[in-house]
Structure 1
Amino acid sequence: MKQEDTTQRIWDKALELFSTQGYDSVSVGEIAKAVGIKAPSLYNHFPSKQAIFDAIVKSTAAQYEADTDKIHIHVQNVQRDIPVFTEITEDALFEKVRQIFEYSLHNDTISRFRRMMTIEQFRSPELAALYSKRYVERILHYHAGIFRALIATGEIAAEDPDALAMMYVAPVITLIGVCDRQPEREPECLEMLQSHVRLFFRMVHGGGSQRSV
């Protein structure tokens, strides 16, 4: 097995274990066993369990950015995405939200990372802060920036962009959490997601159904 393949397998298996058992409950030996190598060999690739975790954080962030780029949503870059949301239709907006929603649930790496962070946020102040930053603050800041730009051009109602971001994002985060806990409810959650996006769209446009957001 090539070194780069082994490195990939190490953090794949580590993430799988962390997402079900929690970071503190998994030993380097257990990770090595899951990969099919001896613990001393694992240290040829990573100096510590923390280094494996850090690599997972970095890699999943890069993967999310690359994958969402395909649907032209870049949560890291408000200015880049303003044109994406300019003159978008209600149907097109829901389609983008649906794609991100389903990607978040069904991409193994992204889903496992979120589950791992859900566990670890209650065990580590540092990881609690990372969870809040990655899954709440970053997303709210991004959408507030989008709404602020659209308000400035008169495309949507002149309301508090931070409050709009909270109203828009919170139901999506809630529905992802429901599906994480009860996967069988995904069809129901998708219907609720569609209702939410359409209602929000019409609200910020004063009741119109096919204007831009």
Structure 2
Amino acid sequence: MTTRVLIVDDHPMVAEGIRSLLESYDDLEIVGTLGNGQDAVDQAIALGPDVILMDLNMPGLSGLAATEMILEKQPDTRIVILSMHDSPEYISTALSHGARGYILKDVPTEEIHTAIETVMGGGEYLCTGAKGSLQPKISDGRETLTSREQTILLELAQGQSNKDVANTLNISVRTVETHRKNIKRKLGISSTAGLTRYALEHGVLQGTGI
């Protein structure tokens, strides 16, 4: 079975380089290369890719925003972020937006192919560099929240609904729900009241008047 792949990167030489390398695999069909997130959103339905290799930082619509918008319309599309950034926040945020994989641009072609195979098989794929960056940091026996999770915790602890938080941060309600679930898991807290209590006890609400 042939996997249809769309490559989205604002550097034409990078996109075409990846295309030429992946075209050597008989089980892959490269359906196109695009230079920005908006084009990816606009053409995803027409091109019908199974997998999208998506750059993060592009002019106009970012790779994260494009990922979210594409998955809202085509939830079965597998999106793998292809980036030069290996910071934990970039990786966690990409996964929370629905990406099924995260690989760095300097990985061998074989690893890109492996990532595509893995997400097509229903799994998630992080390259070695990304896995190393994403090792949980422990503080008082708990995993450390990313800065985005801390921002959302602050909003939730002030009594904001998922919809309110989504509007404030210009993200989807589904993304807020995913972050909320991750925050509760990391902190071992099951209720909104518990999140508020944690925020009060750990100084998250300092300066808010609460």
- In the superposition, the TM-score normalised over structure 2's length comes to 0.28
Larger Rg over CA atoms: 1
- In the superposition, the TM-score normalised over structure 1's length comes to 0.28
